[in-house]
Amino acid sequence: GAGVSQTPSNKVTEKGKYVELRCDPISGHTALYWYRQSLGQGPEFLIYFQGTGAADDSGLPNDRFFAVRPEGSVSTLKIQRTERGDSAVYLCASSLASGLKNEQYFGPGTRLTVT
Amino acid sequence: GQQVMQIPQYQHVQEGEDFTTYCNSSTTLSNIQWYKQRPGGHPVFLIQLVKSGEVKKQKRLTFQFGEAKKNSSLHITATQTTDVGTYFCAGTGGGNKLTFGTGTQLKVEL
C-alpha cells in the first residue's frame, strides 16, 4: 500500500473488555513497531517485530498487552481487561530495514477510549 | 532506563523568526532521528544523524548531533506557518528501540 494503515481509527470500549488493534505496514517493510501516545507526550515504545518474531517487547506495560505478526506483515495489538489508563492513541510504524537505517513510517493511529 | 528530554516544551514565534529545540539524552546514543507531528496527525520522519558532531541541512532546517552523542538540536531559520507542529527527537542506544523525547510544540503567528 501507499502507507501504513491502522484500523479502527477510533475505538470506544468499556472497562474490562478485550480489544484488538490492527496495523498493515508498508509492503516489503520487515520491521514493525507499536507505540502508545498520550496527549501532550511523545510516542512511548511498546514492541518491535523483525519479521514474524517480537525482537523487543520490553515496552509492553504488563501481561494484559500482547501483539502478534504471524505472517510477517499485518500485526495485531491485543489488550485484555482494558483499564481507563489504557486510553491513548496507539501508533504503528514500519521500516524497511533495521539497525542504523530504521527510518520509521507511522500510521494514522487508533484512538482508544476506555470508559 | 534511557530518558530523552527536550526544551523548550512550547515556543511561540512570529513568522520570520528563528526557532531552536534542544534534545538531551541520559545515555549515549547510537543515532538520533527527528520527527514532526502536525496537530491531529502522526509523526513524520525528518532526518537521521549517526556520526558524532554531524550537521545536516534541509532547506531552512539545520540538525546537529553533539560530539558526545548525547544531545542534538534542530534549528529552523525564518519560520513559516507551515512549520507549526510538535518536533520530537528520538534516539536509539544501539538496537531498534526508539526512545522519543518529550517534544517541543511550535506555534507560528503571522
Q: Is the pLDDT of residue B105 over 90?
A: yes
If we measure between CA atoms, which residue out of A12, A24, A14 comes closest to residue A108?
A24
Using CA atoms, how far apart are residues A59 and B33, in angstroms rounded to an integer?
Answer: 19
| pLDDT for B93 | 82
- For the stretch A28-66, pLDDT in tens is 999 999 999 999 999 999 999 999 999 899 999 999 999
Q: Is the pLDDT of residue B94 over 80?
A: no
Q: Across chain B, what does the average pLDDT equal?
A: 95
| pLDDT for B95 | 75
Mean pLDDT of A78-90: 98
Mean pLDDT of A69-81: 96
Whether A50 sits inside 8 A of B100 (CB atoms) is no
User: What element of type H or E holds B107?
Assistant: strand B104-109
Which of A35, A100, A104 lies at the smallest CB-CB distance from B45? A104
Q: Which three cell numbers stand for residue B70?
A: 548525547
Whether A104 sits inside 8 A of B31 (CB atoms) is no
Question: A-chain residues within 8 Å CB-CB of B45?
Answer: 103-105
Of the pLDDT bands very low, low, confident and very high (cuts 50, 70, 90), residue A97 is confident
Which of A31, A45, A103 lies at the smallest CB-CB distance from B45? A103
Question: B-chain residues within 8 Å CB-CB of A56?
Answer: 95-97
Q: Cβ of A41 under 8 Å from any chain B Cβ?
A: yes
Whether A105 sits inside 8 A of B33 (CB atoms) is no
Of the pLDDT bands very low, low, confident and very high (cuts 50, 70, 90), residue B96 is confident
Question: A-chain residues within 8 Å CB-CB of B98?
Answer: 33, 43, 45, 102, 104
Q: Is the pLDDT of residue A78 over 90?
A: yes
Whether B33 sits inside 8 A of A104 (CB atoms) is yes
Q: Is the pLDDT of residue A1 over 70?
A: no
- For the stretch B27-61, pLDDT in tens is 999 999 999 999 999 999 999 999 999 999 999 99
Contact call for residues B99 and B47 (beta carbons, < 8 A): no
What lies within 8 Å, CB to CB, of B22 at 6+ separation is B6, B7, B71, B72, B73
DSSP string, B17-43: --EEEEEEESS--SEEEEEEE-TTS--
Question: B-chain residues within 8 Å CB-CB of A99?
Answer: 96
Which of B50, B88, B96 lies at the smallest CB-CB distance from A98? B96
Q: Across chain A, what does the average pLDDT equal?
A: 94
The minimum CA-CA distance between B61 and chain A, rounded to whole Å, is: 18
Pairing of strands A31-37, B10-14: unpaired
Q: Is the pLDDT of residue A98 over 70?
A: no
Q: What share of chain B is helix, strand, coil (3-state, %, to 5)?
A: 5, 55, 45
For residue B105, the tally of other CB atoms under 10 A from its CB is 17
High-pLDDT (> 70) share of chain A, %: 96
Question: B-chain residues within 8 Å CB-CB of A33?
Answer: 96, 98
Q: Which three cell numbers stand for residue A51?
A: 519479521
If we measure between CA atoms, which residue out of B72, B70, B60 comes closest to residue B93?
B70
| pLDDT for A101 | 67
The minimum CA-CA distance between B67 and chain A, rounded to whole Å, is: 18
